Homo-oligomer: A and B are copies of this chain.
Amino acid sequence: MSSQAGYAYERLADELTRQVRAGMLAAGERIPSVRTMSERHGVSISTVLQAYRRLEALRLIEARPKSGFYVLAERAHRIPAPRPSKPVQAPTRVTTSDLMDAIVAASSDPHLVPLGAAVPDPALLPLRALARHMGSVLRDDPSGASTYGAPHGMLPLRRELAKREWNAGLSVAPDDLLVTCGAAEGLNLAIRATTEPGDVVAVESPAFFGTLQAIEASGRRALEIPTCPVNGIDVDALEDALGPHDVRACIVTPNFHNPLGSLVPDADKERLVRVLGAREIPLIEDDTFAELYFEDHQPASLRRWDTEGFVIRVGSLSKTLAPGYRIGWMVPGPRFEASVRRHKLASTVANATPPQLAVARYLASGRYDDHLRRLRRVLRDNVARMRAEVAARFPEGTRLSRPRGGFLLWVRLPDGVDALALHRRARERGISVSPGPIFSPSGGFRHCLRLSAGHLWSERTEWALDELAEMIGAG
């Protein structure tokens, strides 16, 4: 039984989900009756029924009239993962076209069914609690809360963020940490602090398009490194690329990669840090999704293996707390700290003060972990459900990622389907999706799609998946 807090029916549903996924309950098998289950687990009939309804919603079981509940032959279990990527082996000057900008803009158009933007549903975030804390910090000290803060961020917030770094396997002091305008600014500062214009920066293939935009804006070049959709960056391939290419920095999302959802195993993390550290190449870690793990605990930061001080860590609260507060953070380490601070001062001077103090109070209230537990459960269910629904609808030849955290799905469509054309048609029908090419500076992933399962599941979601399936089927 899961040790996580929550309602009894949720714990039961989690346990059954695990059994189904582990194959302990096979497809077609009848699961114990509601009464049997109630007695076995010492919970009420209604608790069991609630748990079964949840599994039904996730398409893990189905009710057969007058017979009971059966484990579904879930296509999502059999649908293959996308293949490892094989990007071009030369640095690319990044030029995101106007088309790309339009795509990114459309992905947050509130009128579209939001399968495009990597944003959690506002209904899943503790925004009223945050608003109350904002009110109280401004009432308590309107002047302190409204004047310039230190460029590296307000101390109360740095204290709370530093404490939370324990969860990433790190021991960080408030002064080691710098508050940024989301992970976006963190990536920018890290790139500017470690490289010069024209330098080659190694990125994953596919890569978060915000990373590519930062590389473009700073005039660096991107070298795409192959990835595996399960284990993330291919460290061997990276090492091979360091021979022919003068790589000056490397940006990696080890935990629940955007868009892959992959998780780099600890052994690979250690090798990654060692390979780059030995060559004194800065390793920029984008750890935006780490708190949204589906398994037992938050995976470790690359800094845990960093003995040489070449890992710059970048984090964000935008996916878990409040995108609009623009709170991210960095742990640059002593080697890059002065330069990162100088770039922060030169670029935005400091984050807005009131959101920093409001978030600090919210974190200090101790409610964040409860919130995260609930959020993770919803997102994990949403991802499972979207996998099942996509598997049930999309044509033969579709491949599908199996994310281990976060809320993003990476879909490899059958060969004939052009993702940019699909994006356009979907938009006309009122659906936003993120087409593969925006995740590659060399225009790769023409047949791929990123879908977000971050929003509350609704009939609109199912309608949108129906529509997408129809468009894909029509070629």
List residues of chain A with CB under 8 Å of any chain B CB: 96, 98, 101, 104-105, 108, 117, 119, 122-123, 125, 127-128, 130-131, 134-135, 138-139, 142-149, 151, 181-182, 184-185, 188, 192, 196-198, 210, 213-214, 216-217, 219, 318, 322-326, 338, 341-343, 345-355
Contacts and interface: CB of A to CB of B under 8 A. Distances in A.
A345 B101 contact: yes
Contact of A146 (B139, B146, B322, B354): B322
Contact of A135 (B130, B135, B338): B135
A101 B152 CA distance: 13
Nearest to A184: B349
Q: Which of A101, A119, A213, A217 is the most central at the interface, judged by chain B CB atoms within 10 Å of its CB?
A: A217
A325 B354 contact: yes
A345 B125 CA distance: 23
Given A131-B145, A181-B348, A184-B346, 7 more contacts: A122-B147, A125-B146, A127-B146, A188-B348, A196-B219, A210-B346, A216-B346
A348 B184 CA distance: 6
Given A119-B147, A131-B146, A353 B325 contact: yes
A346 B188 contact: yes
20 contacts: A105-B151, A108-B148, A122-B144, A130-B138, A146-B323, A146-B325, A147-B322, A148-B318, A185-B348, A188-B347, A196-B197, A197-B219, A213-B345, A216-B342, A217-B346, A217-B347, A325-B352, A348-B348, A352-B355, A355-B355
Copies held by the complex: 2
Given A108-B148, A342-B96, A354 B134 contact: yes
Contacts of A217: 192, 342-343, 346-347
B324 A147 contact: yes
Contact of A352 (B144, B347, B349, B352): B352
Contact of A324 (B139, B184, B192, B352): B352
A143 B192 CA distance: 33
Nearest to A211: B346
Contacts of A213: 342, 345-346
Nearest to A137: B131
Contacts of A341: 101
B130 A146 contact: yes
A99 to B, nearest CB: 12
Contacts of A347: 184-185, 188, 214, 217, 347-348
Nearest to A119: B148
Contact of A127 (B105, B131, B143, B181): B143
Nearest to A193: B217
A352 B317 CA distance: 13
B131 A210 contact: no
Contacts of A151: 105
Contacts of A128: 142
A139 B147 contact: no
